Homo-oligomer: A and B are copies of this chain.
Amino acid sequence: MGAIDKFNFRADEADSLLCVGLDPQIDKMPSRFRRMEFPLFAFNQYIIELTHEFTAAFKPNIAFYESHGAKGVQQLQMTLDFLKENHPSIFTICDAKRGDIGNTNQHYIRFIYDELGFDAITLHPYLGKEALQPFLDRKDKASIILCRTSNGGSGEIQDLVIEGKPLWEHIAQKVAWDWNFNSNCMMVVAATYPRDIKRVRNIAGEMTFLIPGVGAQGGEVIQAVNEGLNHANKGIIINSSRGIIYAVNPSEEARNLRDTINMHRIVV
């Protein structure tokens, strides 16, 4: 089973297109976790148990673990092991935003795919297909290419116009029409630019998009769903991190967002 199939299977199983971002911060988590030996892992375990039934995917951003050095990396491994053991059908995304030359990417692959066991990774496009080839060659894993990012200043580079079209649209075309030769690519298209989601959908056929930027970053869920869905009534992974994991009731927050997304899915 390919990685995209795994996501689609889980999306049906949980009737969910929701992704929960596991970005634990010591100063934001309930104080009882802070005194534990492995606070990042303990907090993740708590969030996973509260939200997994409403969740298609979990997405740890690796920076939140690396900032704690070797012990942080260890707790990321513990989190992935916990997911594999208890919720093996849930899709796992390493939000790493990597992108090096081919020779070096092999090392990221070994770590993120083979050691940690993630199903997918987010990647920068700037070095081109040839550099990312080791990722693209992994038919069992999904390469999620940054196309249109959620940050306020993303247009500085991404909106530069080439032959009448912004750079992000060229990236979308390259990924959809060339880099996706193994049908294992996804793209990051932010909820903060809903009109652009529609434009990427027109380019990308049935491909799946990872959509960050709802909640704390201000993007609208409803528009993202309306513009993003593919003909299979899926094709989007809507991520929320801070809005769920630091909520008073993470379980309710996850269910509400899952349900809001589902209310706007086309009835098939």
Residues facing B in A156-172 (CB within 8 A) are 156-158, 160-163, 167, 170-171
- A69 and B69 CA atoms in complex are apart in Å by 10
- Chain B contacts for A108, CB-based, 8 A: 63, 66-67
B149, A101: Cβ atoms closer than 8 Å = yes
Whether A50 sits at the interface, judged by CB under 8 Å, is no
Complex partner residue of A160 from B150, B155, B162, CB under 8 angstroms: B162
A146 contacts the other chain (Cβ, under 8 Å)?
A: yes
The answer for the CA separation of A105 and B63 in the assembled complex, in Å, is 8
Known A69-B73, A70-B71; contact A154-B170, beta-carbon cutoff 8 A: no
Q: Which residues of B have CB within 8 Å of A195?
A: none
Residue on B nearest A108 in the bound complex, by CB: B63
Interface centre among A101, A130, A146 (most CB of B within 10 A): A101
| Interface residues in A, total, Cβ within 8 A | 56
Set of chain B residues within 8 Å of A14, measured between Cβ atoms: none
Residues of B within 8 A of A77 (CB): 69-70
User: Pick the contact of A126 from B73, B125, B162 — CB < 8 Å?
Assistant: B125
Chain A 129-151, CB within 8 Å of chain B: the 1/0 string? 11100000000000000100111
| Among candidates B71, B99, B129, B156, residue contacting A124 with C-beta atoms closer than 8 Å | B99
- Tell whether, in the assembled complex, residue B130 and residue A153 are in contact, meaning their CB atoms are under 8 Å apart: yes
Contact of A104 among B61, B72, B124, B157 (CB under 8 A): B61
**A116 CA to B69 CA, complexed, in Å:** 8
A128 contacts which of B23, B61, B130, B157 (Cβ < 8 Å)? B157
B66 near A111 with CB under 8 A, answer: yes
Chain B residues whose C-beta falls within 8 Å of the C-beta of A64 in the assembled complex: 104, 107
Q: Are B167 and A160 in contact (CB under 8 A)?
A: yes
A66 surroundings in chain B (CB, below 8 A) = 73, 107-108, 111
| Selected contact of A153 from candidates B128, B150, B154, CB within 8 Å | B128
Known: A70-B77, A126-B157, A130-B152. 8 other contacts (CB 8 A): A64-B104, A64-B107, A66-B111, A95-B100, A101-B150, A127-B153, A128-B154, A162-B162
